[in-house]
Amino acid sequence: MTTLLDTPQQASRWCQRQRDTGKSIGYVPTMGALHDGHLSLVRRSVSENDITCVSIFINPLQFNNPEDLESYPRSMESDLVMLQEAGCDMVYTGSLETFFPDQTSSLENSVPVEPVKLRGLEADCRPGHLEGVKAIVERLFATVGQCSAYFGEKDFQQTLLVKDIANRHGEIDVVVCPTVRETSGLAMSSRNQRLSTAALELASCLYQALVEADNAWRQGERNPLRLEQLMQDKLDRPGIEIEYATVRDPLNWTIDTPTHLNDSAQALIAAYIDGVRLIDNLALGSCGCSES
Ligand code: AMP
């Protein structure tokens, strides 16, 4: 039976009791409205740890747009059923007040991270978003304590930031898991629920654009501007509003597009379809997709 706790303070005590009996903890932070992408992280945690806990908290601090926060899908009851079936041992929730009892509206007192990790792409398009992620991730890590924490590669910039936070924290081992996709290639996302059937079909263009860049990369293309152009051409369709379609060196994050790429590249896209903001990314040269 999955234990449900209402505050981070209760969750913290629960996790400590598990550690006191020698159990390893796997932890999956989420904002709920769970799908197979989230569950892949939970299943991996279950397979690698004695105990798995999941948090469900829609963090207002990381929403730069109040309407997006308002319309973010919520489905607590079905989430709990899915988590129980996936073998999750404990789920906890909280509120801004219980996560930040000392400083509800302030992001002060947090650990410094490498400044570039809070810059570029998502930081430019969603001012304050990464700072909001950083604030809550610090609290989530402090709540659970020593654990392996599972994150999806789908939120690529988030993974860079949380790895940096975890390095400074010292007790958290971050595990980055592959993006789970629909058969169309569309990355699973809680926001997909808000797309019409036609928009869902159009949204698969994001993945097709990433595959286009991947094919070119495999054929030796290393010019960042040409890789970007290929993606932009693929996304040039009525109904798709591109925020960015670009490449970065994942091992050396830069605010702007690098002038050249060597051994590794991450293609990243953000676009609006039907008023819904979607993001996706792909490590070039690493996906199992065909070149056709
Ligand atoms: P969220 O509820 O959107 O905050 O996501 C919680 C965690 O699930 C984050 O680490 C996400 O990167 C991860 N996640 C979301 N979608 C997917 C997906 N399609 N595949 C793998 N992980 C995902």
Give the separation between CA 29 and CA 41, rounded to whole angstroms: 10
Of the chain, the percentage scoring pLDDT greater than 70 comes to: 96
CA of 17 to the centre of ligand 1 (A): 28
Q: At what angle do helices 129-144 and 156-169 cross, to 10 degrees?
A: 40
Mean model confidence pLDDT for the chain? 94
Give the separation between CA 246 and CA 271, rounded to whole angstroms: 12
Q: 38 catalytic, yes or no?
A: yes
CA of 152 to the centre of ligand 1 (A): 5
Tokens of 259: 């002038």
pTM to 2 decimal places: 0.95
> Which single residue is written with the structure tokens 């908290």?
57
* pLDDT of the residue at 221: 96
Do the beta carbons of residue 186 and residue 207 sit within 8 Å?
yes
Give the separation between CA 31 and CA 132, rounded to whole angstroms: 13
What average pLDDT does this structure show over 79-93?
A: 98
* pLDDT of the residue at 286: 84
What average pLDDT does this structure show over 132-161?
A: 97
What average pLDDT does this structure show over 190-206?
A: 97
Residue 59 confidence (pLDDT) above 50: yes
Tokens of 16: 């400590």
List Cα–Cα distances, 172 to 25, 45, 72, 115, 282, in angstroms.
10, 14, 28, 21, 25
All structural domains of the chain: 3-177 (3.40.50.620), 190-283 (3.30.1300.10)
Q: Which of 56, 129, 155 to mutate to test the pocket of ligand 1 (most atoms within 8 A of CB)?
A: 155
| Minimal-distance CA residue to ligand 1 atom 13 | 152
What average pLDDT does this structure show over 106-118?
A: 77
Sorting pLDDT into bands at 50, 70 and 90, what band is 41?
Answer: very high
Of the chain, the percentage scoring pLDDT greater than 90 comes to: 91
* pLDDT of the residue at 288: 53
Backbone φ, ψ for residue 228 (5° rounding): -65, -45
CA of 132 to the centre of ligand 1 (A): 16
What average pLDDT does this structure show over 261-289?
A: 92
Q: Which residue has the higher pLDDT, 193 or 292?
A: 193
Query: Which one, of 45, 66, 53, lies nearest residue 15 by Cα?
Result: 53
What average pLDDT does this structure show over 18-41?
A: 98
Give the separation between CA 86 and CA 192, rounded to whole angstroms: 22
Among the ranges given (47-56, 96-105, 148-157), the one the predictor scored with the smallest mean pLDDT:
96-105
pLDDT, tens digit (0-9, with 9 covering 90-100), for 171-185: 999 999 999 999 999
* pLDDT of the residue at 192: 97
**Which residue ranges have their beta carbon within 6 Å of ligand 1?**
30-31, 37-38, 40-41, 151-152, 154-155, 177, 179-180, 187-190
Conformational region of residue 110, where left means phi above 0, alpha means psi within -120 to 50, and beta covers everything else: beta
* pLDDT of the residue at 107: 53
List Cα–Cα distances, 93 to 31, 64, 77, 88, 108, in angstroms.
10, 21, 13, 14, 23
What average pLDDT does this structure show over 140-168?
A: 97
* pLDDT of the residue at 102: 80
Backbone φ, ψ for residue 168 (5° rounding): -75, -30
